[in-house]
């Protein structure tokens, strides 16, 4: 049995992994789909100081309170920022990292710095609180505003991620227009330290290709 911790992207909660969660649990694994502070059913905790560090600590708290070790962390989109920080700060609890059409940051990068002007215009469209980016109109009805401080804060890393046994990048090849993650996918495809995959789904691979994605995650844990 493997412990999978699933971290959503902007404006989404743990519910976005419902199809993937079911498939992994059916195979006997423990799955922890998380909702980050200030978002979705935790939106009542939104305030101006909820940032990337808050979200990294959200995940570390689950690892510590559940005493999870040899964990596979899965991050979608913005969630790539979070799982990278967790692997750096709790190295003894993380076995592998899986990035789902996600940011792959280095020290000093922020979500804001890694995206195009198109995404920055979205982030800058804050709600009436002044501290959260609005969900886009086509998002799931359950999506809620996302703390903008978490998007703006640079990630600080204390070292490399060489201690992580395996790093996978799953690229969504089915974007309706040009994917902002294509350069990341191409770069990592040439890096022997990474295993890359391309699935014929849109950005929300958990919804579009849950069977294929589950097979990738099962391979990650089977390769131990």
Q: CB atoms < 10 A from the CB of 61, how many?
A: 11
> For every residue of 20-79, which 3-state class applies, written as one string?
HHHHHHHCCCEEEECCCCCCHHHHHHCCCCCCHHHHHHHHHHHHHHCCCCCEEEEEECCH
d(CA 142, CA 140) in angstroms, rounded, equals 5
Catalytic annotation, pick one of 40, 77, 133, 150: 77
d(CA 106, CA 157) in angstroms, rounded, equals 8
| R_g of the chain computed on alpha carbons | 16
For 164, the token pair is: 């992580």
Residues 122 and 146: beta-carbon distance below 8 Å:
no
d(CA 81, CA 112) in angstroms, rounded, equals 11
Tell me if residue 77 is catalytic.
yes
Residues found in the chain: 224
The residues carrying an active-site annotation are 77
């Amino acid at each position: 049995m493997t412990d999978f911790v699933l971290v959503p992207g902007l404006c989404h909660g743990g519910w976005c992994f419902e199809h993937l969660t079911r498939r992994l649990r059916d195979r006997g694994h423990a799955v922890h789909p998380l909702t980050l502070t200030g978002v979705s059913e935790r939106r009542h905790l939104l305030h101006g100081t909820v940032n990337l560090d808050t979200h990294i600590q959200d995940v570390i708290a689950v690892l510590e309170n559940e005493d999870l070790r040899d964990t596979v962390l899965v991050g979608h989109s913005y969630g790539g920022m979070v799982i990278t920080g967790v692997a750096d700060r709790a190295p003894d609890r993380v076995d592998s990292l899986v990035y789902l059409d996600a940011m792959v940051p280095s020290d000093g990068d922020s979500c804001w710095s890694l995206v195009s002007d198109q995404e920055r215009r979205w982030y800058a469209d804050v709600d009436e609180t002044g501290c959260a980016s609005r969900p886009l109109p086509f998002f799931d009805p359950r999506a809620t505003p996302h703390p903008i401080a978490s998007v703006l804060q640079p990630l600080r890393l204390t070292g490399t991620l060489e201690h992580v046994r395996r790093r996978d990048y799953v690229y969504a090849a089915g974007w309706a227009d040009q994917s902002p993650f294509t350069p990341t996918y191409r770069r990592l495809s040439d890096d022997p330290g990474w295993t890359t995959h391309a699935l014929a789904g849109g950005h929300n691979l958990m919804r579009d290709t849950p069977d294929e994605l589950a097979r990738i995650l099962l391979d990650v844990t089977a390769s131990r």
